[in-house]
Amino acid sequence: GIQVEQSPPDLILQEGANSTLRCNFSDSVNNLQWFHQNPWGQLINLFYIPSGTKQNGRLSATTVATERYSLLYISSSQTTDSGVYFCAVSRTGNQFYFGTGTSLTVIP
């Protein structure tokens, strides 16, 4: 399978701060997605980003497929950003491999 490593494992931010989350993967992929799992366990799709850069409000993501990593940027963090952020990758769109996540806590 594909190894997916996320860093940092845990992150505590003051409200308003910016952060960068990283996802490294061990093989070529054609599908990469970022998810946010809120404290109630719901998984929300943030980005489908196999390559390039996308932005959605305060969040943006960049994937450099040739170097096998992706970055998720959170700007002006809010308490509602708290939760676990997962990166998931796939070679074919069939089987997906998830990282163990970055647990983010934003304190007011």
Partner 1 sequence: GAGVSQSPSNKVTEKGKDVELRCDPISGHTALYWYRQSLGQGLEFLIYFQGNSAPDKSGLPSDRFSAERTGGSVSTLTIQRTQQEDSAVYLCASSLRAGNQPQHFGDGTRLSIL
User: Residue 2 or 17: which CB sits closer to partner 1?
Assistant: 2
Determine, following the binding rule CB under 8 A, whether residue 93 of this chain makes contact with partner 1. Answer: yes
Alpha carbon 8 to chain centroid, angstroms: 11
Determine, following the binding rule CB under 8 A, whether residue 9 of this chain makes contact with partner 1. Answer: no
Q: Considering only CA atoms, which of 78, 83, 77 is closest in space to residue 102?
A: 83
User: Residue 21 or 88: which CB sits closer to partner 1?
Assistant: 88
Determine, following the binding rule CB under 8 A, whether residue 80 of this chain makes contact with partner 1. Answer: no
**Binding positions for partner 1, 35-54, rule CB under 8 A:** 35, 41-45, 47-48, 50
User: Residue 15 or 27: which CB sits closer to partner 1?
Assistant: 27
User: Residue 8 or 93: which CB sits closer to partner 1?
Assistant: 93
**Binding footprint of partner 1 on the chain (CB under 8 A):** 30-31, 33, 35, 41-45, 47-48, 50, 86, 88, 92-101
